[in-house]
Amino acid sequence: MRKILAPMLAALMVLPLTACGAATRAQLKQAQGNCRERNPDVAEAIAACSFLLAEQPSPEERLDHLLTRGLLHARADRPKDAMADLDAVLAARPEDATALLKRAELRERAGDVPGALADYDRLLAVAPWTVDALVARARLNLAAEKHEPAIRDLTEALKIRQERADAWLYRASAWRKAGKPAEAAGDFTQAIRLRPDSANLYLGRASAFVAAGDEVAALQDIETALRLDPNLADGYLARGNARFRQGDLDRAQADLDRAIALKPDLADAYRVRALVRLKRGELDAAIADFGSAVERDPKLASAYAGRADALAKKGDDQAAIADLDRAIALAPDNPIPFVSRGNASLRLNRPEAAVEDFDEAIRLRPNLAAAYYGRGRAYLLQKKLKEARADFERALALDPELGAAQRQLDNLDRQIAKTKNS
């Protein structure tokens, strides 16, 4: 109620200025002093701007007052009023950088991403040095998985202002998603230089080190993050994941238990703990944890794929295929669930369906040995010996340690020899 009444009361305060006709110089000077964006009394400032607009100012003064009032409306969390004033300014001054930036921000906050991008584009066309616009446009492109344009904008922003920690952070995320972990780690290092007490920045750099294959450096950063924030659930998740990769299952589970205790809705902690339990052969516990993961994040494709693995190990290939269907629908560019579903189809004696899945896995990743090996097995069931041999040979060329492929080739040679001798 106080927020609603404040602008009304402030407006009433200026009524005496206009009640007796034209405003005096003193009254105009007072209003001009109050109609400013940084006035701590926002209601007073809005009322002063409205008063000045009622006094028939010059066209340029009118636009200046509208702009200031629009910015004040935005500060007062009155986006519709702010947009009305900013639209009026931009109708007359289409290249007003301040109005474009604020309207873009309001549009972004309202969920109008195309409108926000259009305003950022217009602003950067006339004022390409506007760092806030470069960073904001990059952030929106990053959310849309448009990594290269985001990287370009952030690189320009950082040329102008190297002390923008958020720009380093966003570019690190863009490098990471673009598959360039070394560059990501370098940018995280710059962000850490500016914010050395940020535990999350150390976790971000740890994820880049993991992607680059440097587990030692990753674990060091995770330990630093946990020293900075001993109650950081994501830190325990990261360390639990690292320990799982090292085969230290007991300490991995302890970390994951701690992560879940601190943040019960942390879906990925349940997923990784499920992997620990799956590795131990605790299939029912693993299935339960994978279930907890997808309850908390129904779009977590890797949890469906993991549960499918556990279900397959229990002999329930139909249920495994159902989970793999979900995993593939959520992440259609990942070849591994196609391989897993192909193998499940093989166990159900469905070689045609298996071949389709292995074909797709090979299309997505032409050097995936397991896909060629699986398709070779499917061809065997279809009595396509020549095609089977070619796939087993290809699998072995890609992975010389794949003994199963060599055994299949040996079996094929024996079958061919028997056929010739009979």
- State whether 356 and 298 are in the same domain: no
At residue 237, the pLDDT reads 98
Q: Is 100 a domain residue?
A: no
**pLDDT value, residue 15:** 42
Taking alpha carbons only, the member of 54, 53, 34, 30 closest to residue 44 is 34
3 and 88 fall within a common domain: yes
Q: 71, 94, 117: which is the final residue of a domain?
A: 94
Helix (H, G, I), strand (E, B) or coil at 91: helix
**pLDDT tier, 422 (very low <50, low <70, confident <90, very high otherwise):** low
Which burial class, exposed, middle or buried, applies to 363 when counting CB atoms under 10 A from its CB (0-12, 13-18, 19+)? Answer: exposed
Report if residue 121 sits inside a domain: no
Angle (nearest 5°) at CA 40 between 86 and 22: 65
Task: Give the closest residue to 249 by CA, choosing from 237, 238, 241.
Answer: 241
Q: Which domain holds residue 42?
A: 1-94
Question: Is 406 part of any domain?
Answer: yes
pTM of the entire predicted model: 0.81
Token pair, residue 355, equals 């071949």
pLDDT at 14 (0 to 100): 45
Domain boundary among 186, 205, 229: 229
Torsion of CA 167, 169, 174, 178, to 10 degrees: 140
Length of the chain: 422
Tell whether 365 is covered by a domain: yes
- Tell me whether residue 47 is in a domain: yes
Number of folded domains that form the chain: 4
Cα dihedral: 68, 74, 77, 79 (round 10): 110
DSSP letter (8 states) at residue 368: -
Same domain for 72 and 147: no
CATH of the domain at 300: 1.25.40.10
116: confidence class by pLDDT, cuts 50, 70, 90 = very high
For the stretch 219-243, pLDDT in tens is: 999 999 999 999 999 999 999 999 9
Q: Is residue 124 in a domain?
A: no
Same-domain status, 305 and 361? no
How do residues 146-182 score in pLDDT, each as one tens digit?
Answer: 999 999 999 999 999 999 999 999 999 999 999 999 9
What's the Rg (C-alpha) of the chain? 31
Residues 237 and 320 in one domain: yes
* 372 falls within a domain: yes
Average pLDDT over every residue of 132-138: 97
For residue 19, the model assigns a pLDDT of 43
Whether 418 and 337 share a structural domain: yes
Note the pLDDT of residue 418.
76
Q: Are residues 305 and 347 in the same domain?
A: no
Q: CB–CB of 307/274 below 8 Å?
A: yes
pLDDT exceeds cutoff 90 at 13: no
Distance between CA atoms of residues 412 and 128, nearest Å: 66
Domain termination residue (choose one: 186, 211, 229):
229
Q: Is 249 domain-assigned?
A: yes
pLDDT, tens only, 173-209: 999 999 999 999 999 999 999 999 999 999 999 999 9
